[in-house]
Amino acid sequence: MADKIKDAKIIFVVGGPGSGKGTQCEKVVAKYGYTHLSSGDLLRAEVASGSERGKQLQAIMQKGELVPLDTVLDMIKDAMIAKADVSKGFLIDGYPREVKQGEEFEKKIGAPALLLYVDAKSETMVKRLMKRGETSGRADDNEETIKKRLDLYYKATEPVITFYEGRGIVRKINSELAVDDVFAEVSKAIDGLK
C-alpha cells in the first residue's frame, strides 16, 4: 500500500497560531486538488470515532501527555494512502514541530517537496487571536496565553525552518498581506514545483 504515496507531492505547512495558514490551506485544496491533513484534526477524528486507537489516544491526551510520534505518523500515513488515488498532493499542516519529527516522517512516508512558512509579525498574530477569542470563547485566546503560545511556537519552529532552509525548499510567505495577496505568493511557490 505504501508505494501508492511514495511519489506523492508533499508540502509541509508551518505557521504560528493566527498566521492564517488554515485559510491558505483551504485555498490550495480548492485550486490544486491537494488533500489537507492536520495532525490535530486527525487525532480529534480518531478519538471521536470511538475506535480502539481512539480510546488509547483519548487516555493519553486526558493525562496531558503528548501522543507518541509513531502514532501520529501512522495516522498521517493511513490518511494519505486512503486519499492517494484522488489527490494531487498533500498539505501536511502544523507538522513537523521539531526536526526529529521531520526526519521520522521522511523515513516512514517521504520527503517534502516544499515547506511553506506562513509567517506574520507576532503583534499581528496576537491581534488576530484576540479578535477570534472575542467570538470563539476559546479559553486559550487571551493575551497572556497567546503570547506564551507564540513564544513556544517560535522556539520550536526556528530549528525546523533552519534545517529545511539547508535544503533550499523553504518558501517564506508574508501573511501580513490581504488573503488573496498571500495566496498569490503561495500559488507562485506551488507552481514552481512542476
Domains detected in the chain: 10-185 (3.40.50.300)
Distances (CA, A) of 73 to 32, 86, 95, 103, 161: 24, 21, 10, 11, 20
Question: Looking at residue 80, what is its pLDDT?
Answer: 95
Question: What pTM was computed for the model?
Answer: 0.87
Look at residue 1 and tell me whether its pLDDT is greater than 70.
no
53 is in an annotated binding site: no
Query: Is 167 marked as a binding-site residue?
Result: no
Instruction: Tell me: is residue 124 an annotated ligand-binding position.
Output: no
Check whether 94 is labelled as a binding-site residue: yes
Instruction: Count Cβ atoms below 10 Å from residue 115 Cβ, excluding itself.
Output: 24
pLDDT tens digits, 34-67: 999 998 889 999 999 999 999 999 998 888 788 8
pLDDT at 101: 92
Q: Is 95 annotated as a binding residue?
A: yes
Does the annotation list 50 as a binding residue?
no
Has 23 been labeled as part of a binding site? yes
Is 58 annotated as contributing to ligand binding? no
Q: Write out pLDDT tens, residues 83-116.
A: 999 999 999 998 898 899 999 999 999 999 999 9
pLDDT tens sequence across 145-156: 888 888 888 888
